[in-house]
Structure 1
Amino acid sequence: MKREISNSKGVCFGEILWDNLPTGRKLGGAPLNVAYHLNKLGIHTDMLTRVGRDADGEDIIRLCAELAIPLTLFQKDSKYPTSTVEVDIDENKDVRYEIVFPVAWDYIALGEKEIETVNKADFFVFGSLSTRHHASYQTLQMLIKVANYKVFDLNLRAPHYTKERIFELLGYADLVKMNEEELGFVAAWMGLSDADTDTAKAEAVMTTFNINELIITYGAKGAIYHSWLGKFSYHFPALKVEVKDTIGSGDSFLAAFLSQRCRQDHQKTPEEMLEFATTLSAFVTQSTGACPSYDEVTINRFVWLNSLDNTKY
Structure 2
Amino acid sequence: MKTEIVCFGEVLWDILPDKELPGGAPMNVAYHLQKLHHVTAMVTRIGKDEYGERLLDVMRGYGLSTAYIQVDPTVATGKVLATVTPQQEMSYDILFPAAWDYITSDILWEALESPHPACIIFGSLASRNAVSKQALQALLGKVRGLRVLDVNLRPPHYSVEHITWLLEHADIVKMNEHELQELSGWYGLEGDMRALVRQLSDRFVLRAVLVTLGAKGCLLYEDHEFYQQPGHTVQVADTIGSGDALLAGYIHAMLTGSKPGAALRFGNALGALVAGKSGGCPDYETAEIITMMHQH
TM range (shorter): over 0.9
* Contact 1:73-1:114 at 8 Å conserved across structures: no
1:118·1:124 contact (CA, 8 Å) conserved in 2?
no
Q: Does the residue aligned with 1:243 lie in a helix, a strand or coil?
A: coil
Coordinate RMSD, CA, aligned: 2.4
Aligned length: 294
1:268 aligns with 2:263: no
Letter of the 1:281 partner, please give it: G
Distance of 1:96 and 1:286 partners within structure 2: 23
For residues 202 and 71 of structure 1, do their structure 2 counterparts lie closer, same or farther at Cα, with a shift above 3 Å needed? same
Quick one: distance in 1 between partners of 2:93 and 2:250? 28
- Note if contact 2:172-2:209 (Cα within 8 Å) is conserved in structure 1: yes
C-alpha deviation, 1:98, in angstroms:
1.2
More moved, 20-29 vs 180-189? 20-29
Matches of residues 281-296 of structure 1 in structure 2 within 5 Å?
A: 281-296=271-286
Change (3 A) 1:94 1:192: farther
Query: Could you say which residue in structure 2 is the equivalent of 1:190?
Result: 187
Q: Find the aligned partners of 2:207 and 2:121 in 1 and give their Cα distance.
A: 15
Q: Which amino acid aligns with 1:246?
A: T
Shift of 1:238: 1.5
Structure 2: 5+ residue runs without aligned partners? none
Alignment match, 1:21: 16
Against the structure 1 CA distance between its residues 8 and 80, is the aligned structure 2 distance closer, same or farther, given a 3 Å change threshold?
closer
Q: Supply the distance in 1 between the matched residues of 2:90 and 2:117 (Cα, whole angstroms).
A: 33
Give TM-score scaled by structure 1 length: 0.88
User: In the aligned structure 2, how far is the partner of 1:208 from the partner of 1:39?
Assistant: 33
Alignment of 1:102 onto 2:97: yes
TM-score (ref. length: structure 2): 0.92
Deviation of 1:184 after TM superposition, in Å, equals: 0.4
* Shift in Å, 1:89: 7.3
Tell whether the 8 Å contact from 1:16 to 1:51 is kept in structure 2 after alignment.
yes
164, 167, 170: which one aligns with 2:164: 167
Instruction: State the SS of the aligned residue for 1:255.
Output: helix
Distance 1:106 1:287, change over 3 A: same
Equivalent AA in structure 2 for residue 187 of structure 1? S
Equivalent position of 1:150 in the other structure: 147
2:108 aligns to what SS in structure 1?
helix
Q: 1:15 to 1:223 in 2, by over 3 A?
A: same
Higher RCO structure (Cα 8 Å, ≥6 apart): 1
1:218 is the counterpart of 2:208: no
> Secondary structure of the equivalent of 2:239?
coil
Establish whether residue 242 from structure 1 lines up as the match of residue 232 from structure 2: no
